[in-house]
Amino acid sequence: MPFLFLFSLIIIVTSGFPVFYFQTRVGRNNKDFKLYKFRTMYSDSDKKGLLTVGGRDPRITSAGYFLRKYKLDELPQLMNVLLGDMSLVGPRPEVRKYVDLYSEEQKKVLMVRPGITDYASLDYINENEILGKSKNPEEAYIKEVMPAKLALNRKYIAEAGFVTDLKIIFRTINKIF
């Protein structure tokens, strides 16, 4: 709670209200839910595109850059965990626009509760930099990044268990710091 308060205060001082960003994501059983994050972009930036591209996207606030770098913008998702929409570990929830492109095989990732971290989060921790090097970031996401992440999601589902979750949690902490 003290960190949530501190980060909220930093956001207010550096870029005003609102503190939180809500986005509709697709969760377990292909059901939509509201994902909570700290707001790291200027208001209405998501209308200019859903993907964050490059190392320094101009839509990101100064505080937002710091929060994103250390994945602190995702702390409010603990509320999603408490509400039962998410778990700590599991496939990252995606926006409907991209879920609608999933094959039947890829849709199997929607059978489990999405999580805050997973194999794909670890392997694609710098996804925005990868997309920033592409001439067409959205096409690169759809054709290259998304299928690779979904393959990692299916790997997680096949290996899911307490020990696997602990390994992913510790790898996430290690990767962030």
Q: pLDDT tens digit string along 18-39? A: 999 999 999 999 999 999 999 9
Both tokens of residue 134? 């592409």
Instruction: Specify the number of domains making up the chain.
Output: 1
Rounded CA gap, 89 and 152, in Å?
13
pLDDT of res. 43:
74
Q: What share of the chain is helix, strand, coil (3-state, %, to 5)?
A: 55, 15, 30
Average the pLDDT over 38-59 and give the result.
70
Query: Helices 162-176 and 146-159: crossing angle, nearest 10°?
Result: 140
What's the whole-number average pLDDT of the chain? 91
pLDDT of res. 39:
93
Q: What range defines the domain where residue 123 resides? A: 2-176
Residue 132 has pLDDT above 60, yes or no: yes
Residue 53 contacts residue 72 (beta carbons within 8 Å): no
Q: How does residue 62 score in pLDDT terms, banded at 50, 70 and 90?
A: confident
SS3 36: strand
Q: Which helix (H) or strand (E) holds 137?
A: helix 137-140
Rounded CA gap, 122 and 171, in Å?
8
